[in-house]
Amino acid sequence: MTDRVVLTHATLVDGTGAEPRPDMTVVVEGEYISEVGPSGTISGAPGDLVHDLRGATLLPGLIDCHVHLRANAAARPADVHLWNMVNSAETQTLHALANARTALYSGFTTVRDMAGSRLEAAVRDAIGARVLDGARVVAAGLVGMTAGHGDMFCPATMDERRMWAPADGVDECRKRVREYARLGMDLIKICTSGGTLSAGDRTEWRNYTLAEVDTIVDEAHALGLRVAAHAHTRAGIETALTAGVDTLEHGSELDERLVERMLEQGTALCPTLSISEFMVERGRERGLAPEQLDKARALRERRLESVRLAYRSGVRLIAGTDSSNTVRFGAHARELQLLHQEIGLSPLEALTAATSAAAEALGLGERTGVVAPGRWADLLVVDGDPVRDLGVLSEPGRLRAVFQGGREYAPAVPVALVTP
């Protein structure tokens, strides 16, 4: 079998934000892209596997910067909170692998899991070793306080089923970061405000003191780990920025002063519009409690205005859906449509938020996110033109092929899986 795959006569969207280039050829050798150029300027070789992509668009494999793989992957919906409480770690691992596979078959070759531990590390490693198919996983270890956003997903009467043991005080926080480094996690996730889906707290609750957040960020950076912060409120955002986090998740109450700080510090924003819109549109149908629905409705408009301000000011936006037990895996491309329709990004800008900008924020900017020689051969072939209509990325029949590290997959994603 040849190691050279030639993708020719495609319209190329290279992930840098540059305008599409017609009639381009990309050569894949093993795991990497070896050549990119106009069709006709790249010579073939005997034994090449050639794909004629006339009428199709070739893009980098897309990246979802905010998911929770440990979620129900079955066709039958389950309780948003109790599913994790009543299922074994072994069952949750199998579902996490299925969710990673669904993301891959939806055109997303990399996902950043935003609240993991040993289970997510195992899923990452199995996919990385190509034991099973799935999106490449960048796994975050969650450091959270007692009664913090992450802790409030577990009922107080079921403490033994906590998915993450809490850490309180600077010494426990520092030790937890070191434990995650020993486990081989890729980054650290913290919460500096309450959340919407967590039960019994309020979004305005402080999560961690500045001293604790400073300690977590200091230790993580000392060990070469980036830090992502869940933060809805102004106070939570300010604490996260003061400590020097690398990415801000949600960012529902930004103001001009905070946006200026993000620009100065180079902090990327992952708005996760998909889950916000889903909770308002279909949360009651999904079985969310009145408390959760009230919090989601109260935050929705503030988050949209906040993200619009960040975008207008030049903050780097990255795409993330918060796919989870609430928003099912497979609908990842909707985030790009929301960034375009609700925030005002052009389709090219939205695509960049899920390619090169996302890769840079995850520390993978030299490896993926752009179609260029020497990068991983993470590629997506789509029938049609997503620059004119981002909706084609959400139509399973339009996804002709996905390449991850040079391996080709022919997606066949059932509609039931891509509809939340």
pLDDT at 287 over 90: no
How high is the pLDDT of residue 412? 54
Find the mean pLDDT for residues 249-258: 97
Looking at per-residue pLDDT, the higher value among 241 and 285 belongs to: 241
Does any domain span residue 402?
Answer: yes
Query: Quick one: which of 401, 407, 376 has its CA closest to 10?
Result: 401
Same domain (yes/no): 56, 66: no
Element (H, E) at 301: helix 290-313
Q: How far is CA 357 from CA 207, 342, 352, 365, in A?
A: 28, 19, 6, 8
Residue 53 is predicted with a pLDDT of 96
Q: Using 50, 70 and 90 to split pLDDT, how confident is the model at 76? A: confident
pLDDT(414) > 50: no
**Could you list the residue range(s) of the whole structural domain that residue 34 is in?**
4-60+369-409
Asked if the model's pLDDT at residue 420 lies above 80, the reply is: no
The answer for residues whose C-beta is within 8 angstroms of residue 169's C-beta and 6 or more apart is 212
**278: its two tokens:** 């889903």
pLDDT at residue 415, as a whole number: 35
Length of the chain: 420
Q: What is the mean pLDDT of residues 169-174?
A: 98
Residues 317, 373, single domain; the answer is no
CATH of the domain at 39: 2.30.40.10
Is there a single domain that holds both residue 24 and residue 84? no
At residue 68, the pLDDT reads: 96
Whether 20 shows a pLDDT value over 60: the answer reads yes
- How far is it, in rounded angstroms, from Cα 250 to Cα 189? 13
Query: How high is the pLDDT of residue 197?
Result: 78
Q: Are residues 55 and 69 in the same domain?
A: no
> Do 255 and 377 lie in a common domain?
no
Residues 20 and 78 in one domain: no
**Chain centroid offset of residue 376 CA:** 18
Question: Given the structure tokens 């996905």, which residue do they identify?
Answer: 402
Asked whether residue 264 is assigned to any structural domain, the reply reads: yes
Q: What is the largest CA-CA distance in the chain?
A: 67
Per-residue pLDDT band at 151 (split at 50, 70, 90):
low
Domain match, 318 and 169 both: yes
Domain count for the chain, please give it.
Answer: 2
What pLDDT is stored for residue 419 in this prediction? 39
Q: What is the mean pLDDT of residues 205-211?
A: 94
Enter the DSSP assignment of 95.
Answer: H
Q: Let me know: does 198 contact 149? Beta carbons within 8 Å.
A: yes
What is the number of other CB atoms lying within 10 angstroms of the CB of residue 380? 27
Domain assignment present for residue 358? The answer is: no
CB atoms within 10 A of CB 410: 10
> What b-and-e string marks burial along 325-342, b requiring 16 or more CB atoms within 10 Å of the CB?
bbbbbbbbbbbbbbbbeb
What the block records as the tokens of 254 is: 């930004």
Asked if residue 85 and residue 46 are part of one domain, the reply reads no
Q: Is the pLDDT of residue 167 over 80?
A: yes
The answer on 11 and 95 residing in a single domain is no
Q: Quick check: helix, strand or coil at residue 110? A: strand
Q: For residue range 89-117, what is the model confidence (pLDDT) as tens digits?
A: 999 999 999 999 999 999 999 999 999 88
* pTM confidence score: 0.95
Q: Is the pLDDT of residue 1 over 70?
A: no
Residue 298, pLDDT score: 85
pLDDT at 413 > cutoff 60: no
Clarify whether residues 118 and 152 are in a common domain: yes
Q: Ranked by mean pLDDT, which of 18-22, 161-165, 322-326, 411-415 comes out on top?
A: 18-22
pLDDT computed for residue 296 by the predictor: 83
Residue pLDDT, tens place only, 264-279: 999 999 999 999 998 8
The chain-wide mean pLDDT, for the chain, equals 92
Question: For residue 15, is it within any domain?
Answer: yes
267: Cα separation from own chain's centroid = 16
pLDDT of residue 418: 38
Residue 221 counted as domain residue: yes
Residues 320 and 401 placed together within one structural domain of the fold: no
Give the per-residue pLDDT at 253: 96
Give the three-state DSSP class for 326.
Answer: coil
Helix (H) or strand (E) holding 228: strand 226-231
| SS3 assignment, position 178 | helix
Instruction: With beta carbons less than 8 A apart as the criterion, state whether 358 and 66 touch.
Output: no
Asked whether residue 2 carries a pLDDT value surpassing 70, the answer given is no
Residue 166 in any domain: the answer is yes
47 and 70 assigned to the same domain? no
DSSP-derived 3-state class of residue 408? strand
CATH of the domain at 99: 3.20.20.140
Alpha-carbon Rg for the chain, nearest whole angstrom, is 21
Task: Note whether residue 235 is domain-resident.
Answer: yes
In this structure, is residue 418 part of a structural domain? no
